[in-house]
Chains A and B, each alone.
Chain A
Amino acid sequence: MKSVIRSFSSVKLAIVLLIIITIASVLGTFIPQQRSPAEYVSRYGQMANILIKLEFTTLYRSHWFISLLILFGINIIVCTLTRLSQKVKRTFSPQLKKKEKEILVLKTKEKIRKKCDPTKIKDVLKKEFSSKHYHLREEEKENRTYILARKKILGLFGADIVHFGILIILSGGIVSGLGGFRKNLSFSEGEISAFPKANFKLRLDKFETEYYPNGSVRDWKSTLTIIENEKPKITKIIEVNKPLSYKGFVFYQSSCGWDWKNSILEILVKKRSDPAFSKEIRTKLGEKVSLEEENIQISVLHFIPDFVVNEKNEIFSRSLQPNNPAIFLEGWHENEKIFSGWIFARFPDFSRIHSEKETDLHFELKDFKANQFSVIQAAKDPGVNIIWLGSVIVIIGLFLAFYWPTREIRMILEESNGETEIIAGGIAAKNPEALQSDFKEVMSSIRRTN
């Protein structure tokens, strides 16, 4: 047991763990995470299986990575605790009686004699140290006075506070991992949605997209109402970066989408032989519309909002934005298909109908309308507040460790034959320059005494 504690209190173990965790994190950024097995096979071939087995493809939540983090946490606890009790003791009940030798090995030191009373010197020191905001302790023993003056003592504990904060953050991460919940909800206006683990429902009253003059999205705004026990409770407009919180749940504006499957399409029908002819029809996907004069029925089989063709000549939608809308249209005469083809809203002249029998008709996709729905993320993350608490502690600790450098000056005053011998030394690992100047001023104030 002792040896386990000893190895966990070692900083060498901490360095080794840090190096391993760092290398693992690097790997995780180069191996794409959480993709389908097929993608790994096409990327890594034979290696794919090994990577998946070793959980390199879900690295940051793999058993071994989490174990490393836990080991690291234990390392911090043991290491900090084993040092802390000693440190607390040394700080709050410091040993004042030091040997002359121990003071004179310090880098900043001096030994002088002065023809005056030690009480007088003590008074001077008290004044000088308190004007410099040093905290003073003294002890008298066998006509020697031991003095310890310290400043910014909390700086000594900066590192421990940082470590404590990191532990809090790690535990917040565990709480989030175990108790967190997250779900994307798609809403159309007026829709009400329930979701697991909550005793209330959410209604989308209104959804708006704001655009910049150049057409790019400026913001999405959803008006949400919380409904509890069939009664509306709160209504709030949420935006990206402005979520709604209720009973531990937070609702974020995530993005938006269009309900393209139920779009309403407006198609303009023209005749090549008769420029005066023009007819507008409104239809939906899959609906059949008759053009009575021609004894033809047409129907739209596909709507693609952002039409692209890849190298393999496959057609798909690059996004859900209506960047290049296209429909696929078929025309029937009795039970015979007579034409079919793609029609592009942006390129009316490009619309080409591959007809089995020549047709006189020309189609244009004039307009398309679909309901926009709002994508809202519902999240419950009980670890968040723990994380913020840990962050504040880490920041306080870092501030103390780096910007609150402890300074310490020790002195021995000894009276002999009406003279006082003063042995003084000081140390400040983090700010030796400031210590030196304090030290000089204190010593010169002693010299000025008479």
Chain B
Amino acid sequence: MNESVLFLTTFFLYIISTFFYFAFILAKKDNLARIGFKFALAGLFTHTMALFLRTFESGHAPFTNMYESLSFLAWGSILAYILIERKYNSRNAGPYFMLIVIALMALASSPLMPKEAMPLIPALQSYWLWLHVSVTLIGEAFFAVAFIISIMYLVADTRERQGKIEKLGLSSDKLDFISYKCIAVGFPLFTLGGLIFGMIWAYKAWGRYWSWDPKETWSLITWFVFAIYLHTRIVMGWKGRRSAFIAIIGFLAALFTYFGVNYLLAGLHSYT
């Protein structure tokens, strides 16, 4: 078994899982969602092996270029989703969530992303690379789940207002609650990984913990957006649509931190 075979197997398993989840939405049979879940779980397993193998072969953390970090983000997202589905029975989110994962995997496997493991430039040779990137990406994976759930909330809420009752599963109230829970898990992780570990590593490598480099600034912006989410919700009692919009903006900010900054704004943080 080599890494790219495992990666493709994983991709394939995720695609099958997505099919089952969509079949479940269309045919409204719970069994299909359970099969979809199992395929996602199998994918998570092969994906984990692929990441291990990558680490083993390259001798460094499996997120030092765009291909690796996309793959790791997909892994984190599946993990976050599986945990949330187990806890809150949020099967309906499955198909939409799997689409994001598929998109990440497709991007990672596109020919635009160089696959070969490159030797690490000096600044990346640190165990803080592990801590900083992995914790941040897992935090962001929870924001991704909150994003999907918030969009579903907006759809469900609109339907409920039109008097339609959702037959399958989740009421809009429950979606609102799950979205908050995802952010409650993601926010501390993101704070720890993205901001605090980031500061520590920056201090070790560049001698300053904060330099307003675009990537740092965008992490802070993302963090501010979720802080706004928490305060409007906890203190001012906002819920529902307004909360969902803020959660969506927050994830888009995280996405921009991740992609946009690398391609649109230059700074210390870009790979290569």
Which residues from chain A sit less than 8 Å from chain B, CB to CB?
Answer: 11-12, 14-15, 18-19, 21-22, 25-26, 28-30, 33, 60, 159, 173, 176, 182, 212, 214, 216-220, 239-241, 243, 250, 252-254, 377, 379, 381, 384, 387-388, 391, 394-395, 398-399, 402-403
Distance in Å: Cβ of A293 to nearest Cβ of chain B? 49
B122 touches A218 (CB 8 A): yes
How many residues of chain B get a CB closer than 8 Å to chain A's CBs? Answer: 42
Tell me the complex Cα distance, A381–B99, Å: 46
Give chain B residues whose Cβ lies under 8 Å from the Cβ of A18: 224, 227-228, 231
B231 touches A14 (CB 8 A): yes
Distance in Å: Cβ of A64 to nearest Cβ of chain B? 15
B206 touches A252 (CB 8 A): yes
Give chain B residues whose Cβ lies under 8 Å from the Cβ of A239: 122
Distance in Å: Cβ of B182 to nearest Cβ of chain A? 11
- B37-45, B167-175, B215-223 - the one binding chain A: B215-223
B192 at the interface (CB under 8 A from A): yes
A399 touches B188 (CB 8 A): yes
Give chain B residues whose Cβ lies under 8 Å from the Cβ of A395: 188, 191-192, 196
Give chain A residues whose Cβ lies under 8 Å from the Cβ of B76: none
Give chain B residues whose Cβ lies under 8 Å from the Cβ of A19: 228
Tell me the complex Cα distance, A28–B221, Å: 11
Tell me the complex Cα distance, A389–B31, Å: 51
B25 at the interface (CB under 8 A from A): no
Instruction: Please name the 3 residue pairs, one residue from A and one from B, whose CB atoms are nearest each other, closest first.
Output: A240-B122, A398-B188, A212-B119
B236 touches A11 (CB 8 A): yes
Among A15, A22, A30, A395, find the residue whose CB has the most chain B CB atoms closer than 10 A: A22
Of all chain A residues, which has the CB nearest B188?
A398
Query: Given A15-B231, A384-B203, A22 and B221 touching (CB < 8 A)?
Result: yes
B191 touches A28 (CB 8 A): no
Tell me the complex Cα distance, A388–B125, Å: 22
Give chain B residues whose Cβ lies under 8 Å from the Cβ of A21: 224
A241 touches B205 (CB 8 A): yes
A241 touches B218 (CB 8 A): no
Give chain B residues whose Cβ lies under 8 Å from the Cβ of A216: 118-119, 121
Give chain B residues whose Cβ lies under 8 Å from the Cβ of A159: 234
Of all chain A residues, which has the CB nearest B126?
A241
Of all chain A residues, which has the CB nearest B212?
A60
B228 touches A15 (CB 8 A): yes
B252 at the interface (CB under 8 A from A): no
Among B122, B123, B185, B204, find the residue whose CB has the most chain A CB atoms closer than 10 A: B122
Flag B241-269 by CB within 8 Å of A: 1 or 0 each. Answer: 00000000000000000000100010000
B225 at the interface (CB under 8 A from A): yes
**Within the complex, which residue of A29, A212, A387 is in contact with B214, where a contact is CB–CB below 8 Å?**
A29
**Within the complex, which residue of A28, A30, A173, A398 is in contact with B210, where a contact is CB–CB below 8 Å?**
A173
Give chain B residues whose Cβ lies under 8 Å from the Cβ of A398: 187-188, 191-192
Chain B, range 199-214, C-beta contacts under 8 Å to A: 199-200, 203-210, 212, 214
A241-B125, A250-B207 known; 9 new pairs, CB 8 Å cut-off, are: A15-B231, A15-B236, A18-B227, A25-B217, A60-B217, A182-B207, A214-B119, A241-B123, A391-B199
Of all chain B residues, which has the CB nearest A398?
B188
A379 touches B218 (CB 8 A): no
Contact residues of A: prevailing secondary structure: helix
Flag B173-193 by CB within 8 Å of A: 1 or 0 each. Answer: 000000000001101100110
B26 at the interface (CB under 8 A from A): no
B212 touches A387 (CB 8 A): no
B235 at the interface (CB under 8 A from A): yes
Give chain B residues whose Cβ lies under 8 Å from the Cβ of A11: 231, 235-236
Distance in Å: Cβ of B178 to nearest Cβ of chain A? 13
B119 touches A25 (CB 8 A): no
16 A-B interface contacts by CB (under 8 A): A12-B236, A22-B225, A25-B221, A26-B221, A33-B212, A60-B212, A219-B122, A241-B122, A241-B204, A254-B206, A381-B208, A387-B199, A394-B191, A394-B196, A399-B188, A402-B187
B55 at the interface (CB under 8 A from A): no
Give chain B residues whose Cβ lies under 8 Å from the Cβ of A243: 204, 207
Distance in Å: Cβ of B266 to nearest Cβ of chain A? 9
B48 at the interface (CB under 8 A from A): no
Tell me the complex Cα distance, A214–B191, Å: 37
Give chain B residues whose Cβ lies under 8 Å from the Cβ of A14: 231
Of all chain A residues, which has the CB nearest B215?
A29
B232 at the interface (CB under 8 A from A): yes
Give chain B residues whose Cβ lies under 8 Å from the Cβ of A254: 206-207
Tell me the complex Cα distance, A254–B235, Å: 46
Give chain A residues whose Cβ lies under 8 Å from the Cβ of B203: 384
Give chain A residues whose Cβ lies under 8 Å from the Cβ of B218: 29
B212 touches A220 (CB 8 A): no
Query: Given A11-B231, A15-B232, A402-B185, A252 and B220 touching (CB < 8 A)?
Result: no
Of all chain B residues, which has the CB nearest A255?
B122
Tell me the complex Cα distance, A402–B214, Å: 29
**Within the complex, which residue of A182, A241, A391 is in contact with B208, where a contact is CB–CB below 8 Å?**
A182
Distance in Å: Cβ of B201 to nearest Cβ of chain A? 8
Of all chain A residues, which has the CB nearest B183?
A402
Distance in Å: Cβ of B114 to nearest Cβ of chain A? 14
Of all chain B residues, which has the CB nearest A397?
B188
Query: Given A12-B236, A33-B212, A399-B188, A220 and B122 touching (CB < 8 A)?
Result: yes
